[in-house]
Structures are given as structure tokens and as C-alpha cells.
Amino acid sequence: MLFRNTLQLVVGFLFVTSINATWEKERAAELGQNMNRLWIIKDLLGNPVCPGSHMNEIVYEKDLTKKLSNMKILSNVGQDSEGVYTFPPGVDYEINGEKVPGDSLVVKLVDPHFDPNSCEVEILRRIGSLRDHGKMWREPDFGSEPKHSPSGSPSDKKVEHGSNSGSDSGSDSVELLDSGVIVMNKVKGRPLIRYEWWEELSKPQKKELVEKTLVDIKNKVYGLLKSERLLYADLELDNLLVETETDDHGIHSFKEAHLVDFGFPGIFVYRY
């Protein structure tokens, strides 16, 4: 009980801090402090351990380049990823022979050569949100436009990571880079302040929504800790998506909160 109460205080402080504009400036320092906690499992070099680490060659082996045509970007802003994508309505993505609506999925691109990036695949598998994983080959400016259709896989272009597709420096030569691909279920909702009606709410209405969000987030953090020994610590605003409901009178009420972004170094294995 003491640990749970302490966890609630920590989560509450981090959530409220994330509402403030100063959160990004403080995040790096606080993250460094969290990594040094005695209750975080570390390897022999003193680095925090995440489940599924050092499995990149296996996790990002399957070539998904052709399956990822017609992706559209959701966000290319992220400290630890190469962009987040989905598919337009009406475009399906095949998983184990089954066609899944593409706009029900999110595709995250990561650096497949950074060892901890295999951890997110394992964590998403544990919580039941992983749908597919592999790699794709992309042009260096991939993600700069809303849509991009990869024109081929390494078997088509005979390229290596960081190499040119042609033996000459001809005009058709394109440098392709490899990215790790994580396909996951799309989570409903958005950060509270990203709703267009947020600024129109009164202070009591905002307080009620924040308090209900905080309670739900604390329960989810504790549930993940209890069931999987994983402590989610990346409590920044854009990682807390809130589902709301609006009644016939235009009143917005809380429905459910969700944690997103389970990539390293925002989640740790807890020692107990």
C-alpha cells in the first residue's frame, strides 16, 4: 500500500508537470534521475534493462516495404522515433492472411540499429497491442510529405543500409535507408489540451477532466507494474490520450485515458 501511494504521488506530479510548458526542459534531467533509481534493473554496464533488448536483427528482419505503400504521416516529431504513420480510410493492411482496416493501425518507424528499439515490440506484444513488425527501405526525405509510396524493397533495388541503389551516380540513383517498423493498434483519443473545445471550458470543468484522467492513468500505470513488472515513466502530455464523450447539450465528459509510446527509455523493468 505504501508503494502504491508513493507511485500515485509520483504519477500525479509528473502528469501535472506535463501540463506545463516547462515539462520538456525538465524531462531530460528527471529521466536521468529515474534511470539511477535502485529499483530499476540494470545490466553489467549500468544501463537500464528493457524486455526484448538486443533482438533487433530478429525483430526487424521481415521486409514490409511493399505493404507500407500509401502510408500517411501522423507525426514526424519525436525524440526517439523516425515518425508515426497510419493509412487512409479504405486501405487495408494484411496481417496473417487477414485484411485489417489500415486506419485502425499506427505504424512507428525507429532506428533498427539501436539495440533498445527492439524493446517496444516485446512490450506491445505483452500488452496485446502489437500487430506486426519488420523493416522498410525509405528515401532520406521520407516523412517530409503527408504521403509516400516506397518504390521497392532491397531485393528490387539491391541496396544496403546507407548505400546508393545504382553503381553509377546517374540521375535515377536514390539512396535508401532502412527503418525498423512497428505496427500497432491505433489508440483512440488525444491529449486534453489538443481538443478544439478545451479552451472554452470553465476551470471547474477542466479540473474535473484532469482529475478523472489522472485517476485512470494512475490505475493503468499501477496495473502494468503489477502484471508485467514494467514501470511506465514517460508521462509527457502527448503520451496521454484521453477519450471523451459529448452529449446533446455539448457537455464533454471523460470516458477513458490511454498510455502510448512504450519505447525506450520511457519504461523500465521494476525490481521487487
What confidence score (pLDDT) does residue 73 get?
84
Give me the half-sphere count of Cα atoms (radius 13 Å) on the Cβ side of residue 177.
14
Give per-residue pLDDT as tens, 181-233: 999 999 999 999 999 999 999 999 999 999 999 999 999 999 998 998 888 88
Choice between 124 and 44, residue whose per-residue pLDDT is larger? 124
Per-residue pLDDT, averaged over 135-153, amounts to 62
Choice between 1 and 191, residue whose per-residue pLDDT is larger? 191
What confidence score (pLDDT) does residue 264 get?
78
Choice between 14 and 256, residue whose per-residue pLDDT is larger? 256
Q: Quick one: pLDDT band at residue 152, thresholds 50, 70, 90?
A: very low
pLDDT of 154 above 70? no
Q: Which of 90, 197, 181 is nearest to 133 (CA)?
A: 181
How many angstroms separate the CA atoms of 186 and 107, rounded? 9
The CA distances from residue 251 to 70, 86, 200, in Å, are: 37, 30, 11
Place of cell 523500465: 268
Any idea what the Cα angle at residue 43 is, between residues 42 and 49, rounded to 5°? 55
pLDDT of 26 above 80? no
Q: Which residues of 236-266 are buried (b: 16+ CB within 10 A; e: fewer)?
A: bbebbbbebeeeeeeebebebbbbbbbbbbb
Count CB atoms within 10 A of the CB of residue 219: 13
Give per-residue pLDDT as tens, 30-59: 656 655 666 556 666 566 667 788 889 999
Choice between 92 and 271, residue whose per-residue pLDDT is larger? 92
